[in-house]
């Protein structure tokens, strides 16, 4: 597998992992039970903040590994960013919906 493909699929997997982490965080803090009566934009902004922070942390970790394996260093930041955030959002919303219906 090429380094760019490895980077892309790593980001996709990390997006799925972050979606699961955000859903479990919402479940453990009681956000989901509150969500039924009063949805809040702050819950979304908290999840988005966690996702951005996780993306930045993993960027620096992946940068160490891929710095000599890609043509441009900016490719490390841009490769897979769409997959990361799309999968994060889809998994987070899906798991939140499942958890809300079970409450």
Question: How far apart (Å, rounded) are the C-alpha atoms in residues 34 and 37?
Answer: 6
Range(s) of the domain holding residue 68: 3-102
Residue 38 C-alpha from the chain's centroid: 24
pLDDT interval class at 84 (50, 70, 90): very high
pTM confidence score: 0.89
pLDDT of residue 93: 92
- Overall domain count for the chain: 1
Asked if residue 70 lies in contact with residue 7, where contact means CB atoms within 8 angstroms, the answer is yes
Please give the structure tokens belonging to residue 15: 């997006």
What was the pLDDT predicted at 11? 96
pLDDT at 36: 64
Q: Do residues 16 and 91 touch, judged by C-beta distance below 8 A?
A: yes
Q: In this structure, what are the phi and psi dihedrals at residue 78, rounded to the nearest 5 degrees?
A: -90, -25
The model's pLDDT over 21-77, given as tens digits with 9 standing for 90+, comes to: 999 998 888 877 776 667 678 888 999 999 999 999 999 999 999 988 888 888 999
Measured distance between the N- and C-terminal CA atoms of the chain, rounded to whole angstroms: 43
In this prediction, residue 20 has a pLDDT band, given cuts at 50, 70 and 90, of very high
């Amino acid at each position: 597998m090429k380094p760019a493909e490895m980077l892309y699929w790593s980001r996709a997997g990390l997006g799925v992992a972050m979606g699961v982490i955000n859903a479990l965080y919402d479940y453990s803090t009681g956000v989901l039970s509150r969500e039924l009566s009063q949805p809040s934009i702050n819950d979304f902004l908290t999840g988005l903040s966690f996702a951005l922070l996780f993306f930045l942390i993993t960027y620096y970790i992946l940068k160490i590994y891929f710095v000599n394996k890609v043509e441009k260093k900016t490719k490390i930041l841009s490769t897979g960013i769409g997959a990361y955030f799309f999968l994060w959002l889809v998994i987070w919303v899906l798991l939140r919906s499942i958890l809300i219906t079970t409450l």
